[in-house]
Amino acid sequence: MHRTHDLEIFPEYTVTQLLFKDLKNAAELRKMAVNGEIKGALINPTMIVDAFQILVAANKAVHLHKNGKMKTRSLYSEIIFNLSPTNNISEAFKRFGISDSDNAVYIVLVHNKEETLNVDDIISKVDGQQIDVDQVSELTDAAIVKKLYKVAPMEERCGSLLDAVVCRMATKDVA
Amino acid sequence: MEEADVLRKQVPSYLAEAQMIKQGAEARVYRGRFLGRSVIIKERFPKLYRHPSVDEKLTRRRTAQEVRSILRCRRAGINAPVVYFVDYNYHCIFLEDIVHSVSVRDYIVPVQATVQGTEHLQTLADKIGEILAQMHDEDVIHGDLTTSNMLLLAKAEHKNINLVLIDFGLSYISALTEDKGVDLYVLEKAFLSTHPNTETLFDRLLKSYTASSKKAPAVIKKLDEVRLRGRKRSMVG
Ligand SMILES: Nc1ncnc2c1ncn2[C@@H]1O[C@H](COP(=O)(O)OP(=O)(O)O)[C@@H](O)[C@H]1O
Ligand SMILES: [Mg+2]
């Protein structure tokens, strides 16, 4: 049920995405991510419009990682940072990371193709119901997304909310 | 041999998979794949005649300007391709591929030859004038307005013309009426030389521009001044 994507411009990397609802152990997962037991980004799905948004953040994280230009300490924190429209790191974690009381989680794993990835191991750590990543749209809080990314109704005349979000993520270094 | 090696390093490996669609003086434009989608990749390559550090700065600035202006336009509801990714190492911009589009240039040429051509083109001219007025209201100066740098999505005879502005590499932000007037002057020159006998059509575009913004009449006045300067200069030269 998880989804795996290749990054065309970094063919040695793969991105795996998993989505869970009815989550019971957010606090525990957060601890595991902090102590390295889970090597992945734990993201608040209410801020995610589409799986493509995750891929854009992951691709940029790999790019900055390879060039030694990350703003945070790991590839996974960098994914969370890249989702944010601002350059404030703690704000990014507050909005896009998960909190102990959350009842859903979007997990993103990035791995080199030579490494083996044990998805089942990660799934076994989550006390929640796994759903298809496309179902993230049922969890999106569009009103908060629009507010945070400052998307005015006018902008939706020339594209979707996803377009607006991705365009800000890609240009935030110079905007 | 050594220089060739240096050059090769300056080309990112992902461009090898992409198909080049245009080689310009400043940039190469490719079509490729990115995160499962079709994209346009615009690569600003190093200019060997410029000092490397000057070149790097200038190229970086143009790349940044291009994505900034695109975002500024989209925020105001003016259609321009979505930016997916920017690689500042190689100065490559990954843009939404505007599929099923034709440039306004390629659209005008055959339509001009048909009987109902004039009417279709009038609707298009109205739309272009309206969008450029909106763009100038956002203080975006395009810098390279031509009919090649406008893509047309739906059929122009429909009320709902979908115009997409592209190629913001020479753009900048300015509130000056003078800059907006020059922007229109550049378009006028390009328009009339690319499409002969379109003076009436271009007038219609300017009328629509004027009607679309409170600030437009002052810009048109500047345009008149700029034209006059242009004419004087060409008489001297
Ligand atoms: N986003 C896009 N979608 C579809 N075609 C595009 C897009 N961007 C550019 N093109 C095509 O590539 C050509 C060159 O791109 P442009 O940005 O105008 O570069 P240049 O500075 O070389 O003129 C355009 O005239 C158009 O035909
Ligand atoms: Mg062009």
The CATH number given to whatever domain includes residue A115 is 3.30.2380.10
> Beta partners for B150?
B165
* Contact residues, chain B, for A174 at CB < 8 Å: 64, 67-68, 86
Which domain does B158 fall in, by range? 101-232
Between CA B144 and CA B166 the distance in angstroms is 10
Between CA A94 and CA A92 the distance in angstroms is 5
CB pairs under 8 A between A and B: 79
Q: Under a CB-based contact definition with an 8 Å cutoff, are residues B153 and B104 in contact?
A: no
CA of B178 to the centre of ligand 1 (A): 27
Q: Between the CA of residue A175 and those of B66, B68, B91, B166, what are the distances in Å?
A: 11, 6, 16, 18
Q: Are residues B217 and B108 in the same domain?
A: yes
Residue A154, both tokens? 């006018």
Cβ separation A174–B68 shorter than 8 A: yes
Give backbone dihedrals phi and psi of B153, rounded to 5 degrees, phi first.
-95, -70
- CA torsion A57-B87-B97-A149 (nearest 10°) is 40
* Contact residues, chain A, for B77 at CB < 8 Å: 154-158
Interface residue A22 vs chain B (CB under 8 A): no
Residue of B nearest to A52 (CA): B35
Cβ separation A155–B75 shorter than 8 A: yes
Q: Is B97 a catalytic residue?
A: no
Cβ separation A170–B64 shorter than 8 A: no
Which domain does A157 fall in, by range? 3-172
The SS3 call for residue B157 is coil
Q: Are residues B88 and B150 in the same domain?
A: no
Q: Assess if residue B126 is contained within a domain.
A: yes
Q: Are residues B66 and B163 in the same domain?
A: no
Q: Assess if residue B6 is contained within a domain.
A: no
Q: Are residues B139 and B55 in the same domain?
A: no
- B79 closest CB neighbour out of A158, A166, A168: A158
B132 lines ligand 1 (CB under 6 A): no
Give the end of a domain, one of B77, B96, B115: B96
Give backbone dihedrals phi and psi of B9, rounded to 5 degrees, phi first.
-65, -25
Q: Are residues B201 and B113 in the same domain?
A: yes
The pLDDT value recorded for residue A24 is 98
The pLDDT value recorded for residue B160 is 75
Contacts of B145 (CB under 8 A, 6+ apart): B132, B183, B184, B186, B187, B190
CA atoms within 13 A on the CB side of B205: 21
The pLDDT value recorded for residue B236 is 66
Give backbone dihedrals phi and psi of A129, rounded to 5 degrees, phi first.
-100, 120
Provide the domain count of chain A: 1
For each of chain B's 237 residues, which pLDDT tens digit applies? 444 444 445 678 999 999 999 999 889 999 999 999 999 999 998 888 888 888 899 999 999 999 999 999 999 999 999 999 999 999 999 999 999 999 999 999 888 877 777 778 999 999 999 999 999 999 999 999 999 999 999 654 556 789 999 999 999 999 999 999 999 999 999 999 999 999 999 999 999 999 999 999 999 999 999 999 987 777 765
Q: Assess if residue B2 is contained within a domain.
A: no
Between CA A159 and CA A166 the distance in angstroms is 11
Taking alpha carbons only, the member of B114, B123, B145 closest to residue B205 is B123
The pLDDT value recorded for residue B2 is 47
Between CA A172 and CA B164 the distance in angstroms is 22
The pLDDT value recorded for residue B9 is 52
Give the end of a domain, one of B42, B64, B96: B96
Q: Assess if residue B153 is contained within a domain.
A: yes
CATH label of the domain that carries residue B208: 1.10.510.10
**For chain A, what percent of residues have pLDDT higher than 70?**
100
Query: Residue A43: which H helix or E strand, with range?
Result: strand A41-43
Q: Assess if residue B3 is contained within a domain.
A: no
The pLDDT value recorded for residue B237 is 56
The pLDDT value recorded for residue B78 is 98
Cβ separation A60–B85 shorter than 8 A: yes
Between CA A98 and CA A30 the distance in angstroms is 7
The SS3 call for residue B26 is coil
Q: Assess if residue B56 is contained within a domain.
A: yes
**For the CA of B28, the nearest ligand:** 1
pTM of the predicted model, to two decimals? 0.94
B41 lines ligand 1 (CB under 6 A): no
The pLDDT value recorded for residue B10 is 64
Among A53-67, A88-102, B159-173, where is mean pLDDT lowest? Answer: B159-173
Q: Are residues B225 and B121 in the same domain?
A: yes
The pLDDT value recorded for residue A20 is 98
Q: Are residues B120 and B172 in the same domain?
A: yes
Between CA A122 and CA A136 the distance in angstroms is 19
Provide the domain count of chain B: 2
Distance from CA of A111 to the nearest CA of B (A): 16
Q: Are residues B117 and B88 in the same domain?
A: no
B98 lines ligand 1 (CB under 6 A): yes
Length of chain A: 175
The pLDDT value recorded for residue B127 is 96
Among A16-30, A108-122, B59-73, B88-102, where is mean pLDDT lowest? Answer: A108-122
Report the greatest alpha carbon distance in chain A. 46
The pLDDT value recorded for residue A115 is 85
Q: Assess if residue B5 is contained within a domain.
A: no
Give the end of a domain, one of B45, B63, B96: B96
